[in-house]
Amino acid sequence: MQKLPEPLTDWALHATFRVIEVTSSTKFTTLINATGTSVMLEPFDHPGMRVIHQGMQQPLAIVGTSPNGSSSVFVVLPGLDGKNETISLESESHNGCFVHSGLRSRRGVKLSCKIGSDATFNQEASFIAKRGISKYNPISFVAKGVNRNFLLEPLFAFRDESYTVCFNIKG
């Protein structure tokens, strides 16, 4: 939910989310076609976890299980900025409150409520919906940790991300 990550960094992992459809009445191929659909966001680098809001004007967080299920559900709407390629994510539990980038205020991504017709608010609550920068390798799997899960993939699957190679030398 920031600017597009630079090549040769590990930010692609942090900038990609898996969209989990809550209402399965219709299937969509892109988020632009998902208007009115309730979704949850799973960070690519935190499998099994969800993005939640912590209330109005509070930063978004990543948790394993949401203490309040509706705090992790967002409704996909056409972008508040009026552009065809953007979407806005409205909290299902707080009508009129949207995921807000905070790029101009530099306060980070949070849940903010719309008051009136503020063009700056509309722009910062609108996101370009496109295919993720990273994607799951067909032979990737999740390793369950004590506090979080980890995505394990073949080393040659990485292009921009940094990684650590471990060798078993006891053999």
Q: Tens digit of pLDDT for each residue in 49-92?
A: 888 888 888 888 888 765 556 788 899 999 999 898 899 999 98
pTM of the entire structure? 0.74
- The answer to whether residue 28 is domain-embedded is yes
pLDDT at 1: 47
* Nearest to 134, CA basis, from 43, 2, 34: 43
pLDDT tens-digit series, residues 84-94: 889 999 998 88
pLDDT tens-digit series, residues 133-166: 666 778 878 888 887 788 777 766 555 556 566 6
- The answer to whether residue 68 is domain-embedded is yes
- The answer to whether residue 1 is domain-embedded is no
Backbone angle region of 24, left / alpha / beta, with phi > 0 → left and psi within -120 to 50 → alpha: alpha
- The answer to whether residue 168 is domain-embedded is no
- The answer to whether residue 160 is domain-embedded is no
* Nearest to 15, CA basis, from 141, 144, 128: 128
The residue range of the domain holding 136 is 11-153
Number of domains in the chain: 1
pLDDT tens-digit series, residues 90-136: 998 888 899 988 776 666 788 888 877 788 888 888 988 777 666 67
